[in-house]
Structure 1
Amino acid sequence: MLALWLKIRALPTWALPLLLGIVLLLLPSLGMNYGMTRQVILTLLLALIVSGLNLNLGYAGELAMGHIAMYAAGAYTAGLIGKAGITEIWVQLLVGALAALVVGLVSGVPGLRLGGWSLAMTSFFLILLIPDVLSIFKESTGGRNGLTGIATPTLFGEPVTENQYYVLVVVIAILWFAFMRNVVVSRHGTAFQVLKQSPVLASSLGISVFRMKLSAYALGAIPAGLAGVLFANLDMFISPEAFTFTVAMTVLAASIFGGSASVYGALVGAGVLQFGLNQATNFQEYGLIITGGFLLFGGVLFSGGIAGVGQKIVRKLDYKAAEQAGRSKGSSAENAVADVEVLQGANLSVQTVSKAFGGNKALSQVSLEAKPGAVTAIIGPNGSGKTTLLNMISGYYETDEGVIALDDLQIQGQPSYKVARSGVSRTFQTPNIPKNLSVIEAVESGRYSTQRASILQAVFRTPKFRRIRREDRSEAQRVLNLVGLGSQLNADADSLPLGNRRLLEVARSLIGSPKVILLDEVASGLDEDELDVLADLILRLREAGLTVVIVEHNFQLVLRLADVIYVLAQGSVMAHGAPAEIEKNPRVMEEYLGIVSDSDGTSLVGA
């Protein structure tokens, strides 16, 4: 059984989906009747719309209901130009996809700029506006009575027959899912999943949150527009009833039930909804209730949908196969000694920076300097402003006053993703690791903004894309070896122990060859061996020329590593100097360690 499984896994990942596509193409020649052919067509149209939602919801983490409006835009565009005499189906597909893209951009830009649930709300209102818009232009659209008189589509001047139309729908579905699959398994798909995990994390890697969300939303509009064009040419009639809130909920239910974080989950969910629920006699009357039940059922019982269940089974079979072959999961690579490349650090200067939240003064006139080839430590009790200072350097908070500069470049007031692209990299107090990524994929995400390959280059697997992908993999392996995780390349990143997740974050922050690295409580949760690996790495980074800033509670580790220490207390710099000076500073001992020296020099702990 496991031997058979290994043979199946040796096949290219696109082989089985391609086989399914070929079977669908051959169904009419195998005697499938018109009724079943129509159901397959409707299933594929629904799957196209669902796949667009999956890009937004499952990968980019944005709930958007507006795909029905994009579906309507594609359908009415095709219908209107068809009535006007433009019957070439490939022209209609291009124009319909463009119309859907425009609707997506018009609704997506304001919704995404406002943030939060704004995109969900703006896209929801798009659905409510469809009947009113159709009524306003009823002379052209037919209003609530629907659009009739659509001419038969042609392909290179010849009318499209029923069988040709079926083949056309299947071919377009195959091409779109191949397109989506290539995007999802590329570095762009990884960036989408980083964005879904945390916009803060995405921006720290140099990813523009707004542009990435808008890219996902715009891409998701394309299959909805294509589905609309094909729907308009199915019966040569378009009814507003095809674009209601109930239909939108059906799309959402298919996404959740099939698996929103899955390319082919859209096909599974669409198949269940089309062949199951829509066959019910009273579906139209109780559509919302039935669909709502499916949402609850899929959301509660199937975390990740049916595709998620399948992925768990695949992982279990992979683990058993690896175990039988004498390998532990994720041990596909051996640890190797990796050299730290020469790094061009930058001088980080913070001058008289202040920050208040309401009436609370978090930082007051804080100044510090971190130099290349040196480790600068920031210590202080909880609430002293250490992480706030790092967040201001990273661009998450704006300064109330003061200047933050990298060499001669002032970065205060810059968006966080631009600060990251300037060369500032960081880790977080709580490790921020995206789900559903392997260790090596999570680390590769750190190079997204340093090497650029467009989405189209990813889709067509151009030489530039392949070169960058090889470099991503090579660099990820190198930095994972640096932090001692070279033997866990293929392990699930979010399932690693806490200490290893912290080391993974360090690797991710190093892969982009930063000028400054900010380490926030990076030693917390590490055991002695991991601490030794971390300490050795920090010292090697210093020798390589990097500017290292570390916020840490482990005072002994700070004394061991730091060239200069800044001590914060109540938002101000209480003291700074070499480790030997700070260790003997009475005020530091009292404020930070709770040690008070009496008049004869004796130290009293906890006084």
Structure 2
Amino acid sequence: MLELQSVSKRFGGLRAVDDVSFQVREGVIKAVIGPNGAGKTTLFNLIAGNLTPTSGQILFQGREIQGMKPHRIAALGMSRTFQNINLFHGMTALESVMVGRHVRSRAGFFAGMFHLPSTWREEREIREKSMELLEMLDIAEYADMEATSLAFGQQRAVEMARALATEPKLLLLDEPAAGLNIYETAEVARLITRIRDMGITVLLVEHDMSLVMDISDEIVVLSFGQKIAEDVPSAIQQNPEVIKIYLGEDEEVGA
């Protein structure tokens, strides 16, 4: 589904991502973890088209996408959420999700301007599909409320529904549990698993290790921009290099 080949990103003298390679197989939940400053969000921005790699290749379903604009990547079947919730002010929850359908709409400018019947049918279909997504995420009751006025966990759900509205083949989730309480985090875990079971491949960045270990099929570990490990959760938990970056090296006690 996705392949990174020796991807690097430099900002001046800083190498935020350094020669990172890995694959994401279709139908899995794959997590990218690492301490703060490891390059996780930069890596996501490279994949989604918000940044262009300094070197290396990124392939989505066999097609090179590095340097491609985000809206073009979205049209190919990749969608994302953001570490900091990014909703439009003044829009209801339903309208916010409907925005995500734009990439799949067929009506052009003139059809909309002249209010052709096909435009109205498509608008109705977009509204119905968006409501279905709100219902799936158990937030349909907030459809007519301004999205940015909702509780943090509900806003996160709206953002996820907007990403799903694009009908992605690959969904990028940037810290989906950030700022959520224990109950909300459990709901997010349930939802991500359900999304995978719908046939959508998931790549996520997350700091909540319990969530990562519970739902991930595979994990990539970054440290200072470099990949130091890639394996199944049980092996990552036992990896000495991973343990060292999270817990630090044992200090020797002098005599």
1:357 aligns with 2:11: yes
Equivalent pair of 1:518/1:550 in contact (CA under 8 Å): yes
CA distance in 2, matches of 1:547, 1:539: 10
Equivalent pair of 1:483/1:534 in contact (CA under 8 Å): no
- From 172, 179, 204, the equivalent of 1:550 is 204
CA distance in 1, matches of 2:184, 2:16: 33
Counterparts of residues 580-591 of structure 1 (less than 5 Å): 580-591=234-245
The amino acid across from 1:411 in the alignment is: I
Equivalent pair of 1:483/1:533 in contact (CA under 8 Å): no
Cα distance, 1:365 vs structure 2: 0.7
Identity of aligned residues (%): 38
Match of 1:384 in 2: 38
1:444 aligns with 2:98: yes
- From 492, 517, 520, the equivalent of 2:171 is 517
The amino acid across from 2:162 in the alignment is: R
Does 411-420 or 524-533 show the bigger shift? 524-533
Aligned length: 252
CA distance in 2, matches of 1:597, 1:490: 55
1:466 aligns with 2:120: yes
Q: What secondary structure is seen at the aligned counterpart in 1 of 2:89?
A: coil
Cα distance, 1:596 vs structure 2: 4.6
The amino acid across from 2:200 in the alignment is: L
Equivalent pair of 1:377/1:550 in contact (CA under 8 Å): yes
CA distance in 2, matches of 1:526, 1:484: 16
Match of 2:76 in 1: 422
CA distance in 2, matches of 1:598, 1:558: 28
Q: What secondary structure is seen at the aligned counterpart in 2 of 1:376?
A: strand
CA distance in 2, matches of 1:376, 1:451: 30
Cα distance, 1:410 vs structure 2: 0.9
Cα distance, 1:568 vs structure 2: 0.3
Cα distance, 1:494 vs structure 2: 1.1
Cα distance, 1:540 vs structure 2: 1.5
The amino acid across from 1:348 in the alignment is: L
Structure 2: runs of 5+ lacking an equivalent:
none
Equivalent pair of 1:375/1:564 in contact (CA under 8 Å): yes
Cα distance, 1:597 vs structure 2: 5.8
Cα distance, 1:462 vs structure 2: 1.4
Cα distance, 1:417 vs structure 2: 1.4
Counterparts of residues 85-96 of structure 1 (less than 5 Å): none
- Point out 4+ residue stretches in structure 1 off by more than 3 angstroms: 595-599
CA distance in 2, matches of 1:487, 1:528: 22
Q: What secondary structure is seen at the aligned counterpart in 2 of 1:448?
A: helix
Which has the larger helix fraction?
A: 1
1:532 aligns with 2:186: yes
CA distance in 2, matches of 1:596, 1:484: 44
Equivalent pair of 1:586/1:597 in contact (CA under 8 Å): no
CA distance in 2, matches of 1:482, 1:595: 42
Match of 1:562 in 2: 216
Cα distance, 1:451 vs structure 2: 1.1
Give the TM-score, by structure 2 length: 0.95
Deviations 1:446-491 (A, max 9, x none): 0101112123322332111111111111111111122221111001
CA distance in 1, matches of 2:166, 2:210: 29
Q: What secondary structure is seen at the aligned counterpart in 1 of 2:141?
A: coil
The amino acid across from 1:579 in the alignment is: P
Equivalent pair of 1:372/1:542 in contact (CA under 8 Å): no
Equivalent pair of 2:74/2:166 in contact (CA under 8 Å): no
Match of 1:398 in 2: 52
1:482 aligns with 2:127: no
Cα distance, 1:595 vs structure 2: 5.3
Does 427-436 or 581-590 show the bigger shift? 581-590
Q: What secondary structure is seen at the aligned counterpart in 2 of 1:471?
A: helix
Deviations 1:404-449 (A, max 9, x none): 0112211112112111111110000110011110000001000101
Equivalent pair of 2:32/2:206 in contact (CA under 8 Å): yes
Task: Return the index of the structure with the highest Cα Rg.
Answer: 1
Deviations 1:184-229 (A, max 9, x none): xxxxxxxxxxxxxxxxxxxxxxxxxxxxxxxxxxxxxxxxxxxxxx
Match of 1:247 in 2: none
CA distance in 1, matches of 2:182, 2:142: 19
Q: What secondary structure is seen at the aligned counterpart in 2 of 1:557?
A: helix
Equivalent pair of 1:586/1:596 in contact (CA under 8 Å): no
Deviations 1:164-203 (A, max 9, x none): xxxxxxxxxxxxxxxxxxxxxxxxxxxxxxxxxxxxxxxx
CA distance in 2, matches of 1:521, 1:377: 10
CA distance in 2, matches of 1:423, 1:431: 21
Deviations 1:21-70 (A, max 9, x none): xxxxxxxxxxxxxxxxxxxxxxxxxxxxxxxxxxxxxxxxxxxxxxxxxx
The amino acid across from 1:389 in the alignment is: L
CA distance in 1, matches of 2:53, 2:179: 31
Q: What secondary structure is seen at the aligned counterpart in 1 of 2:167?
A: coil
Task: Please tell me the root mean square deviation across aligned C-alpha atoms, in Å.
Answer: 1.4
Cα distance, 1:598 vs structure 2: 7.6
Q: What secondary structure is seen at the aligned counterpart in 1 of 2:16?
A: strand
Match of 1:371 in 2: 25
Which has the larger strand fraction?
A: 2
Counterparts of residues 204-219 of structure 1 (less than 5 Å): none
Q: What secondary structure is seen at the aligned counterpart in 2 of 1:449?
A: helix
Q: What secondary structure is seen at the aligned counterpart in 2 of 1:402?
A: strand
Cα distance, 1:499 vs structure 2: 1.5
